[in-house]
Amino acid sequence: MQTSVEYYSDPSFTVFQVPDWRAKFYKYLSLELWGNLPSPIQRYLSSWYSSVYNKPYSKKIIKSYIRLNYSDKDYLDKFKPPFGKEEFESFQDFFIREFKELPLNDSPFVWPCEGLLCDENKVENLDYVQVKTDIRSVTTVFGLKYNEIPKNYTFTNVFLHNKNYHRIHSPITGTITRIQHIPGDLIVLRPWIYKQNPSIPAFRNERYNIDIEDERGRTWYLSIVGGPAVGTIELSANIKIGSEVKQLQELSLFYLGSTCCMAAPVSPRFHTKNTFVEVGIPY
C-alpha cells in the first residue's frame, strides 16, 4: 500500500484469515448467544470487565503489552498519559493515551482514527443487513432514514484493535450539526468473523453519531460504535451541536474496544479495504 506520509504509529496489523467454520462459530457466539442477552446485561458485564483495567495493579502489564504488540520499542515515547496525569496509573490510562503532538499535514481531509479499514464502498452499492427481525440500510448506522445520505457518498468502517490509539478526531474543519446517541447491543467487533459483511456490529451496537458540515456545505457523517468491554464512549469537551471544530480536533474517546464508521462526500485516495489507516494522514 502507498501512502503520502510516513507512518507515525506501528502498523503491524494482521488481517486474520479465519476458516469459514470458525468464523461461523464465532459469529454464532456473538450474534445468537451474547447478542441475545438483554443490552443492559451486556453493558453491565462489559463495564465490570473494563473496570479491571482501571485498577492500579493493571499498569504492570503495560510494558509487556508493548513488547508483545509493537515492533517499535520506542512506541510509547510519542504519547503521554491522559487528563494531565504525570504517569500511566493503570492499563486504561495507556489505552486512552494522548498524543504529545498530533500528526499534521496539508490535506483538506484526513482520517479521524487509527485502525484497519475493514469496509469501504459507495453507499449505493451496499447491501441491506438483517438485524434480528429488521432489514436495515447503511443509513441506519448513522440513525437516519433511507436516502438521507446521498448514494454517491462513500461508506468506510475502521476497526480499532485493542493495540490502536483510541481517540476519534474530526476529519475536516466545519460545524457540528447533529449529535445522536443510539443505545444498542455490544456484540463482538472483529470484522473477520462476519466475512462478507464486516460492518454488521455497526448496525446494532451502541453508538454516537456526529454530523459535521464542511466549509463547502457538505455533511460528513461519523458513527462512533462501541463493542464488548467498552465501559463507555465519552464525547470530548465542547463537542455539541453548533460547535465549530477544527480539523483533527478531538471528538471522543473509547474505554476499550471500538469501531468508527464514516459516510463522506469524497472517497479515500490512498487506502482500500483491509489496509491500515492512521489519525491525521490524508483521507
Report helix, strand and coil shares of the chain as percent, to nearest 5: 25, 25, 45
Q: The cell 464488548 sits on which residue?
A: 228
CB 147 within 8 A of CB 101: no
Q: Other CB atoms closer than 10 Å to residue 25's CB: what's the count?
A: 13
Coil, strand or helix at 251: strand
Residue type, 85: K
Q: What is the rounded average pLDDT of the residues 269-274?
A: 90
- Burial letters 167-202, b for 16+ CB under 10 A, else e: bbbbbbebebeeeeebebbbbbbbbbbbeeebbbbb
The share of the chain scoring above pLDDT 70, in percent, equals 92
Burial class (CB in 10 A: 0-12, 13-18, 19+), 127: exposed
Query: What are 27-62's pLDDT values in tens digits?
Result: 999 999 999 999 889 888 888 888 888 899 999 999
Query: What are 61-79's pLDDT values in tens digits?
Result: 999 999 888 888 888 999 9
Query: What are 213-242's pLDDT values in tens digits?
Result: 999 999 999 999 988 876 678 888 889 999
Q: Distance (Å, rounded) from C-alpha 120 to C-alpha 155?
A: 6
Q: What is the rounded average pLDDT of the residues 95-124?
A: 91
CB 193 within 8 A of CB 18: yes
Predicted confidence at residue 4, as pLDDT, reads 43
DSSP codes, 96-164: T-EESS----S-SSB-SS-EEEEEEEEGGGPPPEEETTEEE-GGGGGT--TTSS-TTSEEEEEEE-TTS
- Say which residues have a Cβ less than 8 Å from residue 187's Cβ, sequence separation at least 6: 30, 31, 34, 35, 200, 201, 204, 205, 227, 228
Q: What is the rounded average pLDDT of the residues 140-149?
A: 92
More confident residue, 230 or 173: 173
Q: Distance (Å, rounded) from C-alpha 274 to C-alpha 51?
A: 31
Q: The cell 473477520 sits on which residue?
A: 192
Residue 15: band (very low, low, confident or very high) from pLDDT cuts 50, 70, 90: low
Predicted confidence at residue 223, as pLDDT, reads 95
Q: Which one, of 127, 114, 115, lies nearest residue 197 by Cα?
A: 127
Q: Distance (Å, rounded) from C-alpha 203 to C-alpha 130?
A: 9
Q: Distance (Å, rounded) from C-alpha 217 to C-alpha 201?
A: 30
Q: Distance (Å, rounded) from C-alpha 269 to C-alpha 250?
A: 23
Kindly state the cell numbers that stand for 82. 491522559
